[in-house]
Structure formats: structure tokens, C-alpha cells
């Protein structure tokens, strides 16, 4: 196992400062990492059990849109980064864990990553395939080659070394250790699925799938399906089931804001962003609810009661996203999708609801969302809350912690929030990076 003492640490910082700006080293590093991922041997040590890698630049955990965005912003400033990804591809959430009919929920101009717009000929709401194509082109443009099939199982700041130590499990279950001065957490708000605790769920006689495993309604043709959860995914899965001749029933436990995806010829999201520049949030909320009422009617009549707090205020206070309707509501109105209250318990294929009714179902789809996995691996509690794995400081201040720790994509503001974080992080790291460069000139 690699060990460096206090004195060695300063020497290391010096060497690191020099090497970071040494084009030959970087070229060699890049070449090596493209070939075999491991960097130049001078920064790699190994014991019989573990490979130890000292990376000169920031290490980014996660190769989703957030990880790619920050790697690109760093690259543009001439700062190399190492992206570690547990899956076998970039944007694994989009490639492996989303349903076929998914398109971006928000218009493309609010979803593009820094430094590269979507292709002009993409539709306003690109499909998941187009979004993945865009991300692949993005990674290629900025020469981002993540290290795939590597899971970070622990990361801790080493005071003596002045660096972060990461324990990583590689593709063949081998253990590796990486150290870095800057650690960027990009594992996302959707890293692990949330499964509700429902009595009897594990004994349900039919299939039970989380939306992360749901691909298409074609597998549920003619089946009576209970969809638990009424966020954007739950609503869209119901529509998909309808379109494949399934019989969806949606469980609506809480109040929910459903807004039309577009109003007054513009995207509801875009209009809200624009209105917020001029008016207080309560006024904009009232306006959105008024237009929604004209367009959708009183949603409470169909079992979708609205919260007392307006949609934007609720999003800002709790992170709860309003549902942007893409056609589900008209299917609820027509009775093709049935609304059900919360589930009390499940017995075999029979589901009992809290109003005492019981009904048989062929399958259950859990549209119950995701959570961060940061508390499972990051040994740090100042910046990240152990409770929900999100930064403790509210937006827009949650991106920076102490000791070179950063967070990208935890603002509950989607890809736009991630892009903002990425830009700020790269600017912040650049300052230290340039300082190290100046130091190099002095010692030369």
C-alpha cells in the first residue's frame, strides 16, 4: 500500500505542480490511459493486493451528463481529469435504466451541456436515443474516455497526504486505490432506486418492476397493471401501457401538480423561467395554475388534487417536480387510466387500497423514484447530508465543499443545474491549477 509522509507530501505537491504542466507527461498519461487506463508508472505503485494510482488532476466519480460536463469544462482549460464509472458506458441511467419512449422532459435549450449545443436539426424535445448520441459526440469532442466498470466503494480525505483516497473495485473484482487532490462527485441524484415498503409486495404473484427496468408496454399487452407513483415517469409509463393495450391503474398517494407541457405556444418550463425574471414566484405560480385550469380543467375531479403550495415554490422548497403532461391526463379523463388511492397491503395478486377496496392485478410497476448513493461511499458529512446524500447547502451554493471536494448535478434542477455546477467547478479548480503552474516557473 502506498504511503507518503509529511515531507514527502510537499515534495509530491512540487512534482505534481511540474508534471501537471508538462506536456510530455500529459501526452504519455493520456496515451496510457487510452490504452490501458493506468497512468504513467511513476505515479503508480502496487502491493501484492492493490494497485495505487496518484492522479495529478481532479478525479470525477460518475460518467453521466454531469461528470461529462465537468470533464469538458476542465479540458477546455487544459486540466486533465480522470472519470471513473461503475457501468460499461457513459450516461448509463439513460442507456440502461430508462423506458424506450422517453424523450427529454424539458426543451433542448435547457438541457444542453456547456460548450456544445444540440444539433440544430434535433427536435425541441430530443428522444433518449438522440440525447445519448449528443452525449457520445460530446465525450468525443472533448476527448473524455472514462474508466468503465470501476465502482468507487469508498473515498476519504487523507490529512497527512493532503489528498483524497479512493477505493475502487475494478472489472475483475480487483481492488485499486486512487489518490487525487480534487474529488468531484458526479454520481447523481438517481444513483439507486427507491422501493416503497408495502406489506406483501415481495409476495405479489406477478412481476414487480421498477421503472428503471421497464422498457415498453409491449410486454404488458392485455395485462392489468398497477403503477405505483405519479411523477413524470409514472404518468408516462401509464400512457405507454395504454398505447400497448394494457390496463394501467395509477396509485396517487399524495397531492400533485400536473401542468401542460406547453402553454401559450411555448414550453411551460421556458415560459416560467422567463416570467421569473420579472415577477415573484407566487405570481408566476398563480399564472401557471390559471392557464393550467383553462387547459386541463380541475384535476382534483380526476383524483389528482393539487398541493396548497404552487408548483415552482414547491419545486424550490422540496425539489418535488411538477408533472408535465404529455397526454396522460386525457387518458385519465377518458377512463383508460384509472386513479387509485394509496396501497394498504398486497395478498398474492390482490391489492387492498386504503379506502378498503380490493382488486386483482397482473403486474406492478414501481415509479417510486431514485436516491443518491453518496452516503454509501463518501466518508465525509460536512458537505453532504447522510440523510439524503445531497449537499447540505441549498442551491446555488452546494457545489463546493472543503479540501478540494466538489459536487455536480445535485441541485434538483436537472441538466441546467449540472451545467452551472460544472462551469463553476472548473473555474474554481483552474485557480489552484494555474497557481501550481506559476510555482513551477519560480522553481525552474
Ligand X SMILES: Cc1cc2nc3c(=O)[nH]c(=O)nc-3n(C[C@H](O)[C@H](O)[C@H](O)COP(=O)(O)OP(=O)(O)OC[C@H]3O[C@@H](n4cnc5c(N)ncnc54)[C@H](O)[C@@H]3O)c2cc1C
Q: Which residues bind ligand X (CB under 6 A)?
A: 61-67, 84-87, 91-93, 98, 102, 104-106, 111, 151-152, 186-188, 190-191, 233, 373, 377, 409, 414-416, 418
Nearest approach, Cβ of residue 99 and ligand X (Å): 8
Q: What does each C-alpha distance from 172 to 55, 145, 151, 176, 401 come to in angstroms?
A: 21, 19, 11, 11, 33
Cβ nearer to ligand X, comparing 351 with 390? 390
Give the residues across from 52 on adjacent strands: 45, 177
The Cα 125–Cα 389 span in angstroms is: 30
Nearest approach, Cβ of residue 84 and ligand X (Å): 5
Closest-CA residue to 179 (of 413, 13, 330, 344) = 13
DSSP per residue over 375-409, as a string?
Answer: HHHB---SSB-TTTSSBSSPTTSTTB-STTEEE-S
The Cα 60–Cα 145 span in angstroms is: 12
- Provide the 3-class DSSP secondary structure of residue 158: strand
Cβ nearer to ligand X, comparing 65 with 404? 65
Nearest approach, Cβ of residue 400 and ligand X (Å): 16
CB-nearest residue to ligand X: 64
Nearest approach, Cβ of residue 370 and ligand X (Å): 6
Cβ nearer to ligand X, comparing 92 with 195? 92
Which 8-state DSSP code applies to residue 128? Answer: H
Q: What does each C-alpha distance from 429 to 78, 91, 95, 423, 432 come to in angstroms?
A: 11, 24, 30, 10, 5
Nearest approach, Cβ of residue 270 and ligand X (Å): 12
Nearest approach, Cβ of residue 102 and ligand X (Å): 6
Cβ nearer to ligand X, comparing 62 with 260? 62
Nearest approach, Cβ of residue 414 and ligand X (Å): 2
Cα end-to-end span (Å), the chain: 32
- Provide the 3-class DSSP secondary structure of residue 31: helix
Q: What does each C-alpha distance from 343 to 79, 120, 359, 385 come to in angstroms?
A: 52, 46, 11, 30
Cβ nearer to ligand X, comparing 155 with 436? 155
Cβ nearer to ligand X, comparing 152 with 296? 152
Nearest approach, Cβ of residue 65 and ligand X (Å): 4
Cβ nearer to ligand X, comparing 64 with 398? 64
The Cα 76–Cα 425 span in angstroms is: 13
Kindly give the pairing relationship between strand 370-371 and strand 192-193: antiparallel
Cβ nearer to ligand X, comparing 154 with 255? 154
The Cα 62–Cα 365 span in angstroms is: 27
User: What cell numbers appear for 156 in the block?
Assistant: 476519504
User: What cell numbers appear for 351 in the block?
Assistant: 391489492
Amino acid at each position: 500500500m502506498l504511503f507518503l509522509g509529511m515531507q514527502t507530501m510537499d515534495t509530491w505537491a512540487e512534482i505534481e505542480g511540474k508534471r501537471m504542466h508538462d506536456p510530455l507527461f500529459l501526452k504519455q498519461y493520456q496515451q496510457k490511459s487510452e490504452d490501458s487506463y493506468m497512468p504513467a508508472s511513476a505515479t503508480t505503485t502496487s502491493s501484492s493486493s492493490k494497485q495505487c494510482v496518484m492522479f495529478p488532476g481532479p478525479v470525477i466519480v460518475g460518467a453521466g451528463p454531469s461528470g461529462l460536463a465537468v470533464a469538458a469544462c476542465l479540458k477546455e482549460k487544459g486540466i486533465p481529469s480522470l472519470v471513473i464509472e461503475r457501468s460499461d458506458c457513459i450516461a448509463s441511467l439513460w442507456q440502461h435504466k430508462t423506458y424506450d419512449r422517453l424523450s427529454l422532459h424539458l426543451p433542448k435549450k435547457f438541457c444542453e451541456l456547456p460548450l456544445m449545443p444540440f444539433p440544430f436539426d434535433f427536435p425541441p424535445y430530443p428522444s433518449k436515443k438522440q440525447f445519448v448520441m449528443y452525449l457520445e459526440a460530446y465525450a468525443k469532442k472533448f476527448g473524455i474516455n472514462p474508466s468503465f466498470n470501476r465502482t468507487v466503494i469508498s473515498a476519504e480525505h487523507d490529512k497527512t497526504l493532503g489528498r483524497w483516497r479512493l477505493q475502487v473495485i475494478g472489472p475483475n473484482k480487483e481492488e485499486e486505490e486512487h489518490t487525487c487532490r480534487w474529488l468531484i462527485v458526479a454520481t447523481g441524484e438517481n444513483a439507486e432506486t427507491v422501493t416503497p415498503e408495502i406489506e406483501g409486495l415481495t409476495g405479489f404473484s406477478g412481476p414487480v418492476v421498477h421503472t428503471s427496468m421497464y422498457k415498453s408496454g409491449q410486454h404488458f399487452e392485455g395485462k392489468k397493471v398497477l403503477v405505483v407513483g405519479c411523477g413524470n415517469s409514472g404518468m408516462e409509463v401509464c400512457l405507454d401501457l395504454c398505447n400497448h393495450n394494457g390496463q394501467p391503474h395509477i396509485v396517487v398517494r399524495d397531492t400533485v401538480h400536473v401542468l401542460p407541457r406547453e402553454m401559450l405556444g411555448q414550453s411551460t418550463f421556458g415560459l416560467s423561467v422567463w416570467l421569473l425574471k420579472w415577477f415573484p414566484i407566487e405570481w408566476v405560480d398563480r399564472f401557471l395554475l390559471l392557464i393550467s385550469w383553462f387547459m386541463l380543467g380541475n384535476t382534483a375531479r380526476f383524483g389528482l388534487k393539487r398541493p396548497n403550495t404552487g408548483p415552482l415554490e414547491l419545486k424550490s422548497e422540496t425539489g418535488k417536480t411538477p408533472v408535465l403532461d404529455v397526454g396522460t391526463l386525457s387518458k385519465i379523463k377518458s377512463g383508460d387510466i384509472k386513479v387509485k388511492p394509496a396501497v394498504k397491503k398486497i395478498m398474492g395478486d390482490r391489492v387492498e387500497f386504503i379506502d378498503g377496496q380490493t382488486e386483482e392485478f397482473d403486474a406492478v410497476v414501481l415509479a417510486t423514484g431514485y436516491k443518491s448513493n453518496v452516503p454509501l461511499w463518501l466518508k465525509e458529512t460536512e458537505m453532504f447530508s447522510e440523510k439524503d446524500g445531497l449537499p447540505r447547502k441549498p442551491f446555488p451554493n452546494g457545489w463546493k465543499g472543503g479540501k478540494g471536494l466538489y459536487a455536480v448535478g445535485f441541485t434538483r434542477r436537472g441538466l441546467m443545474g449540472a451545467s452551472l455546477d460544472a462551469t463553476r467547478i472548473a473555474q474554481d479548480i483552474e485557480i489552484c491549477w494555474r497557481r501550481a503552474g506559476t510555482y513551477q516557473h519560480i522553481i525552474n
